[in-house]
């Protein structure tokens, strides 16, 4: 870590802070909205963290109009019949890195979530297929890559919704990551500055400001992060070679109360992430380049840059008895891979400069109307217009008919594609309360996707919740799903252009993926034991046609998608959450099986032998992991001091086996993290929150990928032991 940069960051973090820190004391009344958090960082010792519990109605002390509108917005998004896991802002702060925790690591604490390389996660046996919503608004996914677009510092609470979802949720259906952001109305006028630094050259300063004035409210946050382990190490060594990253993220939410029933808000965000691609030393070149026959693989210089920005304008309010929210937005995402021309040619036979970009314009409208005392009608529509650009500028060698190199002088091949995709969706559902114990949510959803071909589906949904006792809740659901391919990772390259070169693909076949169609069944029970312990069990089964998957098939670390003809996914999850005085703890365990059969699109990425085996046999998906578990415990000695520990465990993702694609699994792994936090008070300067974290305290070396398996391009190892210190100062004015 550069001393000058660290010193400058500390000056920014602490030098410009007001000398006095005054914490606002809320004065509760009887309005039915959530208690405002008067500090951006929160205080995990003074209020317990929420995990896997429905958001409870509490007292209000912010502006009542804004709070009432927040409640109206919540009524637009039911979760009847689905499974949900809630992590609030205080629970995030109890993680070892607190608010500096990447969003994928936050989600990893939920049941049924499996970690993968490049920052990826898999929920209930899906490759990706996650939908992100911020304050009820869909944010279209970014192009696959390593960076995290959203920042945990924006989160007031996040729900992971999966299982049999109601009709209003569609398109991306593995899970819905539903984020409620912090609000200036709730936080008062103030801000926060801080820094996290530590092992592997980690430096992560951050700053936030929030507040309200009459009918205006705002929350804005930004941070910069750099370290020397931007992507997982391809070797078991402690320090990877050529793995530096620089990442900048920003988010803002500005709202204006037009009147007591209407609010206009503008939400925006941007990221710019740069990565060096880590090197695997001691590799042997497979090709000659001009007169060169040797190249040190530790000297490769591959790089990747990822950019994402979005903006959403929302009008939300009440019209008579109807709650509504109408939003228009745009998301732009791009990824660029720059090869090491000579090195990539010598090791891979191809050096491709790849550019992908995608711009999505969206319109979303959701409505909720009560009908009498027992029915709530919800309905809405969604439209998305996407424009994608793909270019591949490749250097390759001419090849003989047997695939061997015919010349050491490379030739250039350029290929470019423009994509134009349209998505239209509409839904109608009714939530029917039958007495005090039964709630039924039934509805119908229609989706239409246009890109080269038109695909559509009507999808019925049914969810039932039975409140058996005051402490026992049972839910069951069925959902028919329609999942279009992710437009931003469709590669419509002309593969015939590479015939007769060292990048000739092993097979022919369809290169345009199809929409996935599936039937999803879910059954679960939640049991409250006294006032301190909550237990839950959830089982699911998904039967799939045209199952979608993604893989890294080339040298560039960019995903492409393909379809299996058949898929089946099943599993069971167990959760336990304990909250009693100074002790909070959670435990999740999950069993899962995800299988596919017959590759029906993207066959050119597979060898003829693989295609023949998968045609006649079910295989494990490459991201299938039999067992996964996470858990943690926090003990608060006082309001100012706490210690905590958490872990993740997995039975290993799939790897190749002789004659059987994805026929074996990697070894089990276990990662233990520890942290201690203390709030120091320095007279008139106020309180500085500190947290010391040790990641992988046992320094256990484990492999996430070994470079084999369907669509797995390189080995990746989990993090080595690292020590990190966070300092945070909140202020008010």
In degrees and rounded to multiples of 5, residue 6 shows phi and psi of -65, -45
Mode of pairing for the β-strands spanning 130-134 and 175-181: parallel
| Residue among 431, 451, 427, 429 at smallest CA distance from 440 | 431
Tell me what the mean pLDDT of segment 35-42 comes to: 43
Residue, of 663 and 30, whose pLDDT is higher:
663
Which residue's structure tokens are 């996470």?
Answer: 630
| Residue among 705, 616, 722 at smallest CA distance from 234 | 705
Helices and strands (DSSP H and E) totals, the chain: 7, 34
Position 13 scores a pLDDT of: 38
Please, what sign has the CA dihedral across residues 207, 212, 213, 216? Answer: positive
Other residues' Cβ atoms within 10 Å of the Cβ of residue 412: 9
Residue, of 254 and 25, whose pLDDT is higher:
254
Position 249 scores a pLDDT of: 94
Instruction: Tell me the two tokens of residue 439.
Output: 């709630």
Percent of the chain with pLDDT over 70: 87
Q: Has residue 589 got a pLDDT over 80? A: yes
pLDDT digits (tens, 9 = 90+) for 255-277: 999 988 899 999 999 999 999 99
Q: Could you give the CA distance from residue 207 to residue 193 in angstroms, rounded to a whole number? A: 4
Position 293 scores a pLDDT of: 87
Q: Could you give the CA distance from residue 558 to residue 561 in angstroms, rounded to a whole number? A: 10
| Mean predicted lDDT score pLDDT of the chain | 86
Q: Could you give the CA distance from residue 344 to residue 327 in angstroms, rounded to a whole number? A: 45
Residue, of 492 and 153, whose pLDDT is higher:
153
Structural contact between residues 153 and 206, judged by C-beta atoms closer than 8 angstroms: yes
Position 33 scores a pLDDT of: 37
Residue, of 504 and 244, whose pLDDT is higher:
244
Which helix (DSSP H) or strand (DSSP E) does residue 457 occupy?
strand 453-467
pLDDT bucket at 607, cuts 50 / 70 / 90 = confident
Position 144 scores a pLDDT of: 59
The torsion defined by the Cα of 276, 280, 284 and 286, in degrees rounded to 10, comes to -50
Rg (CA), the chain: 26
pLDDT digits (tens, 9 = 90+) for 668-707: 999 999 999 999 999 888 899 999 999 999 999 999 998 8
Instruction: Tell me the two tokens of residue 446.
Output: 């229609």
Instruction: Tell me the two tokens of residue 608.
Output: 């003829």
Percent of the chain with pLDDT over 90: 66
Structural contact between residues 355 and 418, judged by C-beta atoms closer than 8 angstroms: no
Mode of pairing for the β-strands spanning 216-227 and 202-213: antiparallel
Position 143 scores a pLDDT of: 63
Distance of CA 621 to the CA centre of its chain: 20
Residue, of 378 and 41, whose pLDDT is higher:
378
Q: Has residue 484 got a pLDDT over 80? A: yes
Q: Could you give the CA distance from residue 716 to residue 119 in angstroms, rounded to a whole number? A: 11
Q: Could you give the CA distance from residue 209 to residue 223 in angstroms, rounded to a whole number? A: 12
Coil, helix or strand at residue 2: coil
Other residues' Cβ atoms within 10 Å of the Cβ of residue 205: 22
Position 452 scores a pLDDT of: 84
| Residue among 189, 99, 155 at smallest CA distance from 731 | 189
In degrees and rounded to multiples of 5, residue 116 shows phi and psi of -140, 180
pLDDT digits (tens, 9 = 90+) for 301-356: 999 999 999 999 999 999 989 999 999 999 999 999 999 999 999 999 999 999 98
**What DSSP assignment string belongs to 255-280?**
EEEEETTEEEEEEEEEEEEEEEPPB-
Instruction: Tell me the two tokens of residue 191.
Output: 């801000």
Instruction: Tell me the two tokens of residue 269.
Output: 């965000």
| Residue among 282, 727, 399, 338 at smallest CA distance from 557 | 338
Q: Could you give the CA distance from residue 483 to residue 546 in angstroms, rounded to a whole number? A: 10
pLDDT digits (tens, 9 = 90+) for 115-138: 988 888 899 999 888 899 999 999
Q: Has residue 624 got a pLDDT over 90? A: yes
Q: Has residue 50 got a pLDDT over 70? A: no
Q: Could you give the CA distance from residue 36 to residue 47 in angstroms, rounded to a whole number? A: 12
**161 to 34, 153, 178, 179: CA distances (angstroms):** 20, 21, 7, 11
Q: Could you give the CA distance from residue 441 to residue 439 in angstroms, rounded to a whole number? A: 7
pLDDT bucket at 556, cuts 50 / 70 / 90 = low
In degrees and rounded to multiples of 5, residue 593 shows phi and psi of -140, 125
Q: Is 345 left (phi over 0), alpha (psi -120 to 50) or beta?
A: alpha
Domains of the chain: 3-404+418-715 (2.40.170.20)
Q: Has residue 234 got a pLDDT over 80? A: yes
Position 77 scores a pLDDT of: 74
Distance of CA 348 to the CA centre of its chain: 31
Position 553 scores a pLDDT of: 65
pLDDT bucket at 477, cuts 50 / 70 / 90 = very high
**Size of the chain in residues:** 733
First to last CA, the chain: 33
Which residues does 185 contact at the CB level (< 8 Å), separation at least 6? Answer: 36, 62, 63, 66, 67, 212, 217
Structural contact between residues 629 and 574, judged by C-beta atoms closer than 8 angstroms: no
pLDDT digits (tens, 9 = 90+) for 190-220: 999 999 999 999 999 999 999 999 889 999 9
| Residue among 369, 271, 370, 380 at smallest CA distance from 327 | 380
Q: Has residue 179 got a pLDDT over 50? A: yes
Which residues does 379 contact at the CB level (< 8 Å), separation at least 6? Answer: 366, 367, 369, 426, 427, 428, 429
Position 49 scores a pLDDT of: 61
Q: Could you give the CA distance from residue 54 to residue 192 in angstroms, rounded to a whole number? A: 28
Structural contact between residues 241 and 298, judged by C-beta atoms closer than 8 angstroms: yes
Position 506 scores a pLDDT of: 74
Structure pTM? Answer: 0.87
pLDDT bucket at 443, cuts 50 / 70 / 90 = very high
Q: Has residue 240 got a pLDDT over 80? A: yes
Position 343 scores a pLDDT of: 94
Which residue's structure tokens are 């089982």?
Answer: 539
Position 600 scores a pLDDT of: 92
């Amino acid at each position: 870590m550069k001393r000058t940069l660290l010193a400058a960051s500390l000056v920014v973090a602490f030098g410009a802070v007001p000398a006095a820190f005054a914490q606002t004391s809320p004065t509760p009344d009887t309005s039915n909205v959530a208690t405002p958090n008067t500090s951006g960082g929160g205080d995990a010792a003074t209020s317990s963290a929420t995990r896997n519990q429905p958001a409870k109605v509490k007292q209000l002390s912010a502006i009542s109009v804004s709070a009432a509108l927040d409640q109206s917005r919540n009524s637009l998004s039911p979760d009847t019949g689905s499974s949900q896991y809630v992590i609030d802002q205080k629970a995030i702060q109890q993680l070892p890195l607190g608010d500096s925790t990447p969003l994928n690591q936050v989600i990893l604490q939920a049941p049924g979530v499996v970690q993968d390389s490049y920052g990826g996660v898999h929920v209930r046996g899906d490759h990706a297929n996650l939908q992100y919503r911020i304050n009820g608004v869909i944010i279209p996914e970014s192009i696959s890559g390593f960076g995290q677009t959203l920042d945990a510092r924006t989160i007031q609470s996040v729900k992971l919704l999966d299982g049999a979802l109601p009709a209003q949720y569609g398109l991306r259906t593995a899970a819905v990551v539903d984020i409620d952001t912090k609000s200036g109305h709730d936080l008062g006028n103030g801000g926060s500055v801080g820094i996290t630094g530590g092992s592997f050259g980690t430096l992560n300063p951050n700053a936030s400001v929030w507040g309200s004035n009459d009918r205006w409210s705002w929350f804005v946050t930004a941070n910069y992060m750099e370290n020397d382990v931007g992507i997982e190490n391809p070797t078991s060594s402690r320090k990877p070679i050529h793995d530096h990253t620089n990442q900048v993220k920003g988010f803002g939410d500005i709202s204006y109360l037009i009147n007591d029933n209407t609010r206009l808000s503008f939400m925006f965000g941007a990221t710019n992430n740069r990565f060096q691609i880590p090197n695997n030393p001691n590799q042997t070149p497979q090709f000659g380049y001009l007169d060169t026959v040797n190249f040190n693989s530790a000297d490769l210089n591959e790089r990747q840059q990822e950019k994402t920005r979005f903006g959403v304008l929302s009008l939300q309010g009440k019209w008579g008895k109807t709650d509504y929210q109408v939003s228009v937005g745009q998301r732009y995402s791009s990824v660029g891979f720059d090869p090491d021309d000579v090195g990539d040619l010598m090791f891979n036979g191809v050096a491709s400069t790849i550019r992908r970009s995608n711009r999505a314009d969206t319109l979303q409208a959701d409505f909720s109307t009560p009908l009498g005392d027992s029915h709530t009608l919800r309905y809405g529509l969604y439209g998305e217009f996407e424009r994608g650009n793909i270019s591949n500028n490749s250097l390759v060698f001419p090849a003989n008919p047997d695939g061997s190199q015919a010349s050491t002088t490379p030739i250039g091949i350029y290929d470019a594609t423009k994509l134009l995709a349209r998505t239209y969706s509409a839904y109608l559902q009714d939530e029917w309360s039958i007495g005090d114990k039964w709630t039924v949510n039934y509805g119908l959803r229609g989706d239409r996707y246009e890109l080269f071909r038109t695909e559509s589906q009507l999808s019925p949904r049914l969810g039932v919740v039975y409140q058996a006792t005051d402490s026992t809740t049972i839910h069951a659901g069925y959902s028919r799903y329609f999942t279009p391919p992710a437009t931003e990772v469709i590669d419509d390259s002309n593969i015939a252009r590479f015939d007769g070169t060292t990048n000739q693909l092993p097979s022919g076949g369809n290169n345009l993926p199809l929409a996935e169609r599936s039937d999803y069944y879910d059954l679960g029970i939640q049991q409250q034991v006294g006032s301190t312990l909550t237990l839950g069990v959830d089982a699911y089964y998904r039967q799939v046609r045209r199952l979608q998957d993604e893989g890294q098939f080339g040298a560039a670390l960019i995903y492409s998608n393909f379809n299996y003809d058949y898929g089946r996914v099943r599993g069971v999850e167990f959760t336990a959450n304990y909250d009693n005085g100074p002790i909070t703890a959670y435990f999740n365990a999950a069993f899962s099986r995800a299988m596919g059969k017959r590759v029906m699109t993207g066959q050119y990425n597979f060898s003829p032998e693989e295609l023949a085996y998968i045609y006649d046999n079910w295989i494990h998906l490459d991201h299938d992991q039999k067992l996964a578990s996470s858990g943690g415990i926090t003990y608060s000695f006082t309001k100012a001091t706490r210690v905590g520990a958490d872990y993740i465990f997995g039975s290993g993702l799939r790897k190749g086996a002789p004659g059987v694609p994805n026929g074996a699994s990697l070894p089990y792994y276990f990662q233990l993290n520890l942290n201690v936090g203390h709030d120091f008070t320095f007279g008139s300067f106020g309180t500085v929150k500190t947290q010391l974290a040790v990641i992988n305290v046992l320094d256990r070396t484990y492999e996430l990928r070994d470079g084999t398996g369907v669509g797995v391009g390189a080995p990746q190892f989990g993090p080595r032991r690292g020590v990190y210190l966070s300092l945070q100062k909140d202020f008010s004015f």
